[in-house]
Amino acid sequence: MKNLAEVIASGELQGNGPFTKKCHDWLENLYGAPALLTHSCTAALDMAMMLVDFTSERNEVILPSFTFVSTATCIVNSGGVPVFVDVDPATCNIDPAQVESAVTDKTAAIVAVHYAGVCADMDALAEICRRHDLILIEDAAQALLSRYKGRHACTLSDMACLSFHETKNLVSGEGGALVVTNPSFIDRARVIRDKGTNRYDFFRPGSTLDKYSWQDKGSSFLPSELIAAVLFQQLGQAERITQRRVELWHWYRDHLSVLEEKGFFRIGKVPPDCETNGHIFYLLCETSSERDDLLEHLKNDGIGAQFHYIPLHSSVGARKFNARTIGDMKHTDSVASRMVRLPSYAHMTLDDSNKVVRAVYSFYES
């Protein structure tokens, strides 16, 4: 409230003001690379695809089918072709072996999604990109403060996209950021974010430009100072909120692993070289009908558990835009039909989480 009052009192509500700068500094300090606030992760993904710059010879992007729709729409919005591959069922993250078999002369980029705040196998993907001269992008919508081999998500590729949507660990209502790890993309990223103009250079201290003008493709991707003011408060709470989420993730796992050992379901895995930010705790039921029954049981107990993504490879959008699918997608179809996400939020009380666990037990013990 204090930050919002400060912005309103200043009368300068447009983007790129003092709170935007504070958020940029915070992210840059964390990642050691420049970051640009956007309206959403969707907007950051759109920017990333504009930066990839498709040609008629190279216009394909490999991505998992088990992801949010924006990971694919950004590709078709820029005239590219999505190429869907299957996930590793242990993590629900893109499977590098499947990626390898999907690479062609037309491949321009790979997008890895860090599902549930657990990083994809980025070393394997980076190696494929090096060998085939591809751009690597992280859809890190769910992965702020997640780590892979001790390194932060968002530092493992050429550019990374964050979300601060209200469903994420840190929120500004809608919101996102593009982290530009590969320095060769940053100048164009600033132009694309500012309606395709060199406005950033014009306002830079010591600029010799007497006006700003149209330079490149672009759109209006920068959020208002009101959003940045809310986000900056959240960034200051990042460690505390994430720690609480991670505690809750471990608490669920400790209390539900007995049922997993009895073979009732599988709990989403965090590989030993990954540190989760506790964004999502999920179960994979034995069958799709059992999943539906469990969701219904929890709903009747007043518990808002959820399934997750509808696979993209078999969607109307995929057909409409001639997306390609490589492989049988059996893991994608299987995990999507069996997944249950349990409620998780930083201010969840012990009573709340106990209630969820009791309801899961009562389902399997009846």
Residue of 20, 42, 242, 277 that binds ligand PLP (CB under 6 A): 42
Q: Tell the smallest beta-carbon distance from residue 167 to ligand PLP (Å).
A: 6
Q: Tell me: does residue 163 bind ligand PLP (CB under 6 A).
A: yes
Taking CB under 6 A as the criterion, which residues in 51-70 touch ligand PLP? 67-68, 70
Strand partners, 110: 62, 136
Q: Can you say whether the dihedral through the CA atoms of 210, 211, 214, 216 is positive or negative?
A: positive
- Of 237, 26, 49, the C-alpha closest to 135 is 49
Nearer to ligand PLP, 41 or 52 (CB): 41
Mask: binding to ligand PLP, 169-198, rule CB under 6 A, as x and -?
A: -------x----------------------
Q: Tell the smallest beta-carbon distance from residue 323 to ligand PLP (Å).
A: 17
Q: Tell me: does residue 46 bind ligand PLP (CB under 6 A).
A: no
Q: Tell the smallest beta-carbon distance from residue 208 to ligand PLP (Å).
A: 37
Q: Tell the smallest beta-carbon distance from residue 365 to ligand PLP (Å).
A: 33
Q: Tell me: does residue 47 bind ligand PLP (CB under 6 A).
A: no
Q: Tell the smallest beta-carbon distance from residue 350 to ligand PLP (Å).
A: 27
Nearer to ligand PLP, 62 or 141 (CB): 141
Q: How many residues bind ligand PLP (CB under 6 A)?
A: 14
Q: Tell me: does residue 113 bind ligand PLP (CB under 6 A).
A: yes
Taking CB under 6 A as the criterion, which residues in 121-160 touch ligand PLP? 139, 141-142
Q: Tell me: does residue 305 bind ligand PLP (CB under 6 A).
A: no
Strand partners, 112: 138
Nearer to ligand PLP, 138 or 275 (CB): 138
Residues in contact with ligand PLP by the rule CB under 6 A: 40-42, 67-68, 70-71, 113, 139, 141-142, 163, 165, 176
